[in-house]
Chain A
């Protein structure tokens, strides 16, 4: 098996790991959300890759096309994309509120303020 033959899966893994790394390593809440989006997007590509049928066309019902890609994963991933958008939107809305309440979008500053608050209680 050629290393490059399944290059789309390599892209999936690279994207997945970089997204995951950004979520873990960055303290900026917006950057974390960007990482999360990259992480989710990699899964979309995974689903789209698996639906590919060799020498198949797009799934269009027409007598001219005999072999076509499996349309089901496409549909599934449309749903997952919508879920992803909802998550990102909610996450960003939360960041706006956090910025208003804490005056910062940096994880360590927020945690510091929380500790101060707990100490004063």
Chain B
């Protein structure tokens, strides 16, 4: 049993998806989905323990040994992200019942859970696999499932957002497919670790450069790096709340994982950063993303879209950390991956509760909510403070490491720009706080009740995690540093 954990991680949600269709009854399906996701979470914890005691796990699918067979390979980086994805997914599912019942018709609920499980399967598959072509297949599984989930939003703009995401996402995935094809052409292998061994021999060929370019552009489309982020704001704004929670906290993070894996483990740090101007490009685009997206966020009236733009800005910080090209920079990226998932998970879950009661996420509807829904608003405020990077929240920890990395490399002007970028976050968070706490409620409406407990509990678990990991940084920082060190080791 224990030796089959890597494949069980992917198989459990995959098999659970069709069973949902047999169960049909929405309430049954809901708990069944929750149990499947919780099992995946337990599985990921066991995997991390196993990796920490025994080192990297290599699992041959069907007993066919790599490089002929498909290999699943779990090291610290995968295990770290597996825990992140499964934990957020489980918490989101805890709140899914009331939220989806409000936002979807009952007939659709079952199908939503099926799409959700397939999306989870895809994301976990990308993380677990050690095969380049498998990455493409799982990427498409998760993408197709997320287009479906987004299209279920109750506003008709959800359809349009989903269509746009489908077009851009497919172009991105096809670019990745071209990149993988060209790599295969030069090396004759699809196994990532085999690729890493064979690529240096053919490093100086144009085909390998082209493969790298196609691959990186495709992945950057998926992770919504500015200016390839155009699909993201509307997709997050109009998707059902639970889909937004799940996608905002995990999907882009998994895409960043793919980027890290190929830059460090497959191509190697030296190729990626010395032969190509990747560093300059990443730093420039990361910074532009931080500023452009934060400024646009300030002018949004739809609060869900406001936080979606803020997500693009936060991705900018992660890419910036990667662009520094040092161990501390990579640690900052890995920390922010985890921390941003906690912040956005908490904020979007709180917004799910708000939509449940108020029915709108327009800023106007927020007036007086500070008194009427104190717990929900407090969650949004703590999440917002974490986005800004106030001490005692997780946001502070990752910003601290990012600034540290920039100063280490003597890039202090960029460190100053990062701090200015954080001030922009103050403005958009303050806009919400002002309306919610200092404006009187509209006279004609009865006061809104607090969000249902089933949504509040997972929201506050995430809020408390925001504070806990902001104070006790042992788990996240320790693990991130270890992973960063191991990635640089492989690269040499």
Which A residues are closer than 8 A to B by beta carbons?
20, 23, 29, 32, 36, 39-40, 43, 46-47, 50, 73, 76, 79-80, 83, 86-87, 90-91, 94-95, 97-98, 101-102, 110, 114, 117, 121
Report Cα–Cα, A94/B166, bound state, in Å.
10
Given A94-B147, A101-B156, A102-B156: A43 and B163 within 8 A (CB)?
no
C-alpha gap A91/B156 in the complex (Å): 15
Residue B170 contacts which of A73, A87, A101 (CB distance < 8 angstroms)? Answer: A87
Structural contact, A43 and B151, CB atoms closer than 8 A: no
CB distance from B383 to the nearest CB of A (A): 24
Give the residues in chain A near B151, CB-CB below 8 Å. 94, 97
Question: Are A50 and B184 touching (Cβ within 8 A)?
Answer: yes
**Min CB–CB distance B206 → chain A (angstroms):** 13
Partner of B160, one of A43, A50, A91, A110: A110
CB-CB under 8 A for A39 and B159, given A73-B184, A86-B144: no
Using Cβ atoms and an 8 Å threshold, which residues of chain B touch A76?
Answer: 133, 190
Task: Please tell me if B71 contacts chain A, counting CB pairs below 8 Å.
Answer: no
B178 proximal to A (CB < 8 A) = yes
Q: Kindly state the separation between the CA atoms of A99 and B181 in the bound complex, as whole angstroms.
A: 37
Determine if B144 and A90 form an interchain contact, defined as CB atoms under 8 angstroms apart.
Answer: yes
Once the chains are docked, how many angstroms separate the CA of A88 from the CA of B172? 15
Q: Are A36 and B170 in contact (CB under 8 A)?
A: yes
Assuming the contacts A90-B144, A94-B159, asked whether A40 and B167 have C-beta atoms less than 8 A apart, the reply is no
Q: How far is the CB of B232 from chain A (nearest CB, A)?
A: 16
CB neighbours of A117 from chain B (8 A): 157
State in angstroms the CA–CA spacing of A60 and B30 once bound together.
Answer: 48
Residue B426, interface by CB 8 Å: no
The CA-CA distance from A94 to B163 in the complex, in Å, is: 7
Q: Does B204 touch A at the CB level, under 8 Å?
A: no
Q: How far does the alpha carbon of A83 sit from the alpha carbon of B177 in the complex, in Å?
A: 11
Within 8 A of A (CB), among B232-254: none
Residues from chain B with a CB closer than 8 A to the CB of A94 are 147, 151, 159, 162-163, 166
Minimum C-beta distance from B166 to chain A (A): 5
CB neighbours of A40 from chain B (8 A): 170, 174
Q: Judge whether B160 and A114 touch: CB under 8 Å.
A: yes
Return A47 CB to nearest CB of chain B, in Å. Answer: 5
CB closest chain-B residue, reference A16: B178
Q: Could you tell me if A47 and B181 are in contact, using CB atoms closer than 8 angstroms?
A: yes
Least CB separation from A75: chain B residue: B133
Cβ of B420: which chain A residues have Cβ within 8 Å of it? Answer: none
Residue on A with the closest CB to B143?
Answer: A87
Closest to A86 in B: B144
Complex: A121 Cα to B140 Cα, angstroms: 35
Separation of A121 and B301 alpha carbons in the complex (Å): 10
Interface residues of B (CB under 8 A from A): 133, 136-137, 140, 144, 147-148, 151, 156-157, 159-160, 162-163, 166-167, 170-171, 173-174, 177-178, 181, 184-185, 190, 301, 362
Question: Would B184 and A87 count as touching, CB distance under 8 A?
Answer: no
Q: Are B171 and A36 in contact (CB under 8 A)?
A: yes
Q: Which residues of B contact A83 (CB under 8 A)?
A: 137, 140, 144, 173
A90 in complex: contacting residue of B147, B184, B362, CB < 8 Å: B147
Q: Bound state CA distance, A114 and B167, in angstroms?
A: 19
Give bound CA distance, A117 to B174, whole Å.
Answer: 34
> Is A23 a contact of B174 with CB atoms below 8 Å?
no
In the complex with contacts A87-B144, A90-B144, A46-B163 CB distance below 8 A: no
In this complex, what residue of A is CB-closest to B134?
Answer: A79
In the assembled complex, which residues on chain A have CB atoms less than 8 Å from the CB atom of B140? 83, 86-87
Q: A29-B163, A43-B174, A43-B181 are in contact. Are A79 and B137 (CB under 8 A)?
A: yes
In the complex, what residues of B have CB within 8 A of residue A39's CB? 171, 174
Top 5 nearest A-B pairs (CB, nearest first) are A101-B156, A83-B140, A50-B185, A94-B163, A98-B159
**Which B residues lie within 8 Å of A47 (CB)?**
181
Contact B362 A121 (CB under 8 A): yes
User: What are 14 A-B contacts defined by CB distance under 8 Å?
Assistant: A20-B171, A36-B167, A36-B170, A43-B177, A50-B184, A73-B184, A76-B190, A79-B133, A90-B144, A91-B163, A91-B166, A94-B162, A94-B166, A110-B160
Q: How far is the CB of B257 from chain A (nearest CB, A)?
A: 21
CA distance A39 to B140 in the complex (A): 16
B residues in contact with A98, CB < 8 Å: 156, 159-160, 163
Rounded to whole angstroms, the CA-CA distance of A97 and B133 in the bound complex is 32
Q: Which residue of A lies closest to B189 (CB)?
A: A72
With the chains together, A35 CA to B160 CA distance in Å? Answer: 18
Interface contact B159-A43, CB-CB below 8 Å:
no
B186 to chain A, nearest CB (A): 10
B166 and A50 contact, CB distance less than 8 A: no
- Chain A contacts of B178 at CB under 8 A? 43, 46
Contacts of B163 in A (CB 8 A): 29, 91, 94-95, 98
What's the nearest-Cβ distance from chain A to residue B190, in Å?
A: 8
Of A40, A73, A83, A110, chain B has the most CB atoms within 10 Å of the CB of A83
Give the docked Cα–Cα distance between A121 and B162 (Å): 21
Please measure, in the bound complex, the distance between the C-alpha atom of A39 and the C-alpha atom of B168, giving whole angstroms.
12
